[in-house]
Each structure stands twice: as structure tokens, then as C-alpha cells.
Amino acid sequence: MIIRDHYLRAASQVASPNCDDRPDPEDISLLVIHCISLPPEQFEGDYIDQLFCNGLDPDEHPYFKDIYRLKVSAHLLIRRDGSIRQYVPFNRRAWHAGESRYQGRVRCNDFSIGIELEGSVTQAYADAQYLQLSDVIKVLLANYPGLSRKRIAAHSDIAPGRKTDPGPLFDWERFYGLLE
């Protein structure tokens, strides 16, 4: 995998408008692992792209009526089959963490890269996702010196009580083993 001009070349590019400039573009020092499925517990389709690009139709599913106005994004999405989408270049601030805190710092979007796994907190993640996630993390660690294995967090770690993802079925031991 290669990163060039803050884009992961192995990813399909889907530009989200839900991003802006980081306060300090050199301060990329946290990786946040999330999960998402739209509608909840359902996989595949274009609904995640539509949400991150402000095109989700509230009439497509009852759940969408509550979320279609959200202005959210992530840097990357890793689908169940291991394919990768990039919505925001790594040097820009994606809107993925919301109200958050990590090691005394607030507004984690300012200094983090957000990676969504297509999944839910109630279902196991696919083998292809673990393999791709570990490869993506390795290339990010090699390209952004502020990142480290010790600065990888779950969304639930930075927004406790508000978020639960990637959930209890995410196998952290397996993930870290693949980073070796």
C-alpha cells in the first residue's frame, strides 16, 4: 500500500464535503477505530457513501429519518470484503469522533484519523477486514510520525458512555498480532 499526497492509493476515492482543515496539519497523532452499518445490522449497498456525502434519502428506511441531516465522515471505510473507500485525505479533519477526549486532549477530530469498519457491535468482523485494517495501519504508521501502536483507540475509548464501537466482538489481540 502507498500513500501519496495524503491519499491511500489502494482505496476507492469518494470525496465527502464533511471535512475541513486541521488546526495543525502536522499533528496527526491518533487512530480511531469505528464501525458502521446502514441500515443498522445490514451490510453492503451505498448508504454509508450517501451518509458521508450528505445524500442519504430519509424515505429509504425508517432509521434514516433520524440521521440523514448529520454532517459526518471518516477518512476510511473498510467493507466486509476488505475493499477500502477514502472519503477525506489524511491531512484534513474528518468529522468522525464527535465530542471526544483522549489522554487529556479534547476534539479528537483535530488530531486523529478515523477508520470505519463496516460492521456492528453485535456481529463479528470479517477476516478480510482485519487483514486490510492491519495493512492500512502499517502504512499510516510509516507515513505519519506522530502515530504509534500505542495511539490506536476505539471510538468507545474516546467517547465513553456515548459510543460503544467497534464493540466487544472486535478482536484487539488478533488485530495487534497482525501488526507484528
| Residues identified as active-site | 116
**3-state SS class at 179:** coil
Cis, peptide link before residue 166, omega less than 30° from 0: yes
d(CA 78, CA 91): 19
**CA 127 from centre of chain:** 17
Q: Give me the numbers of helices (H) and strands (E) for the chain, helices first please.
A: 5, 12
At residue 66's C-alpha, the angle toward residues 97 and 156, to 5°, is 25
User: Contact at 8 Å (CB) between 48 and 38?
Assistant: yes
